[in-house]
A and B are shown apart, each in its own frame.
Chain A
Amino acid sequence: MSEEVKVFGFWCSPFSRRVELALKLKGVQYEYIEEDVFKNKSPLLLKYNPVHKKIPVLLHNGKPIAESLVILEYIEETWKANPILPEDPYEKAMVRFWTKFADEKCLPALWKAGWSPENEREKAVDEACECLKTLESALKGKRFFGGETVGLVDIAANFIAFWLRLIQEATGQELLSAEKFPDLFKWTDEFGSCSVVKESLPPRDKLLAFFKARVAEAMDAQTNASK
């Protein structure tokens, strides 16, 4: 039966890139629709995700699914090639636990540390480093969080492997270093060097420029605020 798979995404969103990565890992053909999320969301997006009005949305044979982690579980259950979750219920629970931790704790803490004003920065950085340390403990010396192959935790932590490095370059901050987090740093290289992962990342220069523009905006806002 011919399948219709579409992904509504945004070029620099780690969340829609997670969905694309999972589909590519499983060899699923899909059509990508770029949404102008800041200025002009399409009527289709608003129809398919009326609750959150956000990307990513996966559309499978006309049925929409929203929320990237919900989409990833759906993809895993629908296309069985190259599983991203283990079979054993306890191992699965551990993967879900760490996926939630990466998504709900690490990402917000890292984002905050990158963009917080001067006076809040030290505390934000400390919290972000705590998160990274905790997440690193889940690696246990493995090549990927998923063991020998990329799994759900790796996909959920994509932000750390790629976006974070570029934010660090744009802001001049160094949260994730090889000295402080040797295992996690090594993981970012392993993850980033997978061909399927490389195919599902935004263009490096474009993303770096995007973050540099954000840094400039933030600095302008701070300067104006202190006038």
Chain B
Amino acid sequence: MAEEVKLFKTWSTPFGLRVVWALKLKGIQYDAIDEDLSNKSALLLQYNPVYKKVPVLVHNGKPISESLVILEYIDETWKQNPILPQDPLEKARERFWAKFNDEKLLPSIWGVFTKEGKEREEAIADSLENLQFVEEELTGKKFFGGEKIGLADLVFGWLAYLICVFEEVTGLKIIDERFPLLLAWIQEFSELPIIKDNFPPHDKLIIRYQAFYEKYHPAK
């Protein structure tokens, strides 16, 4: 049966990129629809009326929103190259770390980028603590998924291409030599063709985040 798979995203969203990686890993053909978030399409609003956000996956006309929900759907629908293990405890571990990234790590690092003064100091302390937990999780492993990448790797994947952008724009070192396993993971992860071939263009990201930075830290 001919399948119709569409992905609504933007060129830069890390939440959309994790879905792109999952689709490519499983060799799924799809149509990418790049949205202009300042002028959202009627279709996007129809497919995601609750959040009005990207990414949205539409499979044979049926929409799914929220990247972690989409990733689980993809894994259950297309069985090749699984991103979640079979064992329930191992699956729980992957889900735990995916949540940790979205609810703790990413917000704390975004806080380092956007905040000033004492609030920034607190964000830096939080980020270092969160990064330390992630570092420990990599003990004895090549990837979060073990020998192969899995859900947690795709969710942490933004670290591999966006941290260097944050560091360049802010002049701060966020992941330094205190995190050798994380640095090694970034290297291994970034060498996978499916991963690096889909990184958003570095130069375009610098321009984008430089503009954000100026917005959050207006010159006095």
Contacts and interface: CB of A to CB of B under 8 A. Distances in A.
Interface string B64-79: 1110111011001100
A74 B89 contact: yes
A66 B77 contact: no
A67 B96 contact: yes
A225 interface: no
A94 B62 CA distance: 10
B110 interface: no
A35 to B, nearest CB: 19
Interface stretch (A96-104, A152-160, A181-189): A96-104
Nearest to B103: A104
Given A70-B92, A97-B65, A92 B73 contact: yes
Determine the main DSSP class of A at the interface with B.
Answer: helix
Contact of A100 (B59, B69, B77): B69
Given A66-B96, A70-B92, A74-B89, A134 B73 contact: no
Contacts of B89: 60, 63, 65, 74
A30 B50 CA distance: 38
Contact of A90 (B64, B66, B91, B95): B64
Given A67-B96, A74-B89, A89 B133 contact: no
Contacts of A77: 88, 91
B73 A90 contact: yes
B69 A74 contact: no
Interface in A94-115: 94, 96-97, 100-101
Contact of B62 (A50, A51, A70, A90): A90
A78 B73 contact: no
Interface string B84-107: 000011011001100110000000
A73 B91 contact: yes
Contacts of A134: 50
Contact of A89 (B66, B73, B92, B96): B73
Interface string A48-90: 0011000000001001011101110110011000000000011
A89 B50 contact: no
Nearest to A131: B50
A67 B94 CA distance: 12
A93 interface: yes
Most buried by A among B50, B64, B65, B72: B50
B86 to A, nearest CB: 9
A65 B64 contact: no
Nearest to B129: A51
A73 B95 contact: yes
A89 B59 CA distance: 11
Interface of A: 50-51, 60, 63, 65-67, 69-71, 73-74, 77-78, 89-90, 92-94, 96-97, 100-101, 134
